[in-house]
């Protein structure tokens, strides 16, 4: 009978050892690093210059009036004044700042007159969405043209790129009692 009890106790110990060593009974948490994709913003190292955005909304020939005045002295006694007005053509260019910042816009006119060529420069200071007219009067307006030169703004280029990053993630697994006791 003692032998039967010894065998029974041995079987119980063997079953308990198998349960402790082979069957997962305990849930444990562990952390792993997981890759994921993210969009990253970066800026170009050196800023660069861009001209301000503008629009020539209209170019036309208008008119202006100039007043002439002369004075004549005859023999030191009498003085005669004479005043008259003259209508002259005016080259006009309407410039609108369509950028988001204020700036200056230089309008250079080139006008062909019968005896000469006239060059005139006008500077317009414009806030965003503001429009002004640059004018170039001439006694005789032949062929004429213009060029608009805007001021510049400093721009830093913004770029985006996909990068792989890592983050910790908690996971759970079932372990045997023996494994739990040895690694806790």
- Looking at the fold, whether 86 and 132 belong to one and the same domain comes out as yes
- Looking at the fold, whether 151 and 86 belong to one and the same domain comes out as yes
> CB of 151 within 8 A of CB of 104?
yes
Residue 13 lies in a domain: no
d(CA 150, CA 50): 10
Cα separation values, 134 from 64, 101, 116, 143, 146, Å: 13, 20, 21, 17, 10
What is the model's pLDDT at position 21?
67
- Looking at the fold, whether 135 and 174 belong to one and the same domain comes out as no
- Looking at the fold, whether 35 and 75 belong to one and the same domain comes out as no
Domain extent, residue 78, equals 48-155
pLDDT in tens, 71-95: 777 666 666 677 878 888 888 999 9
pTM for the predicted model, two decimal places:
0.56
Secondary structure (H, E, C), 147-174: EEEECEEEECCEEEEEEEEEEEEEEEEE
Residue 7 lies in a domain: no
Q: What CATH number has the domain bearing residue 79?
A: 2.60.40
Q: Please list the ranges in the chain whose pLDDT falls under 50.
A: none
What is the model's pLDDT at position 83?
81
What is the model's pLDDT at position 78?
61
Residue 10 lies in a domain: no
Q: What is the CB neighbour count within 10 angstroms for residue 36?
A: 10
- Looking at the fold, whether 106 and 58 belong to one and the same domain comes out as yes
Which two three-digit tokens encode residue 57? 């909304």
Rg (CA), the chain: 45
What is the model's pLDDT at position 45?
63
Which two three-digit tokens encode residue 159? 């770029």
Residue 128 lies in a domain: yes
What is the model's pLDDT at position 171?
85
Residue 160 lies in a domain: no
What is the model's pLDDT at position 20?
64
d(CA 123, CA 106): 4
- Tally of domains within the chain: 2
d(CA 106, CA 121): 7
CA 183 to chain centre: 55
């Amino acid at each position: 009978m003692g032998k039967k009890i010894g065998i029974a106790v041995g079987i119980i110990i063997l079953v308990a050892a198998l349960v402790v060593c082979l069957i997962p009974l305990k849930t444990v948490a562990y952390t792993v690093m997981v890759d994921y994709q993210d969009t990253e913003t970066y800026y170009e190292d050196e800023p660069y210059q861009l001209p301000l955005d503008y629009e020539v909304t209209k170019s036309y020939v208008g008119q202006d009036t100039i007043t002439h005045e002369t004075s004549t002295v005859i023999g030191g006694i009498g003085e005669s004044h004479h005043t008259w007005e003259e209508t002259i053509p005016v080259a006009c260019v309407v410039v609108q700042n369509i950028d988001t910042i204020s700036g200056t816009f230089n309008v250079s006119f080139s006008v062909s007159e019968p005896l000469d060529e006239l060059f005139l420069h006008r500077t317009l200071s414009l806030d965003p969405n503001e429009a002004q007219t640059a004018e170039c009067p001439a006694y005789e307006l032949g062929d004429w043209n213009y060029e608009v030169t805007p001021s510049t703004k400093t721009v830093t280029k913004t770029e985006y790129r996909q990068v792989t990053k890592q983050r910790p993630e908690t996971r759970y697994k079932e372990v045997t009692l023996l494994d739990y006791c040895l690694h806790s």
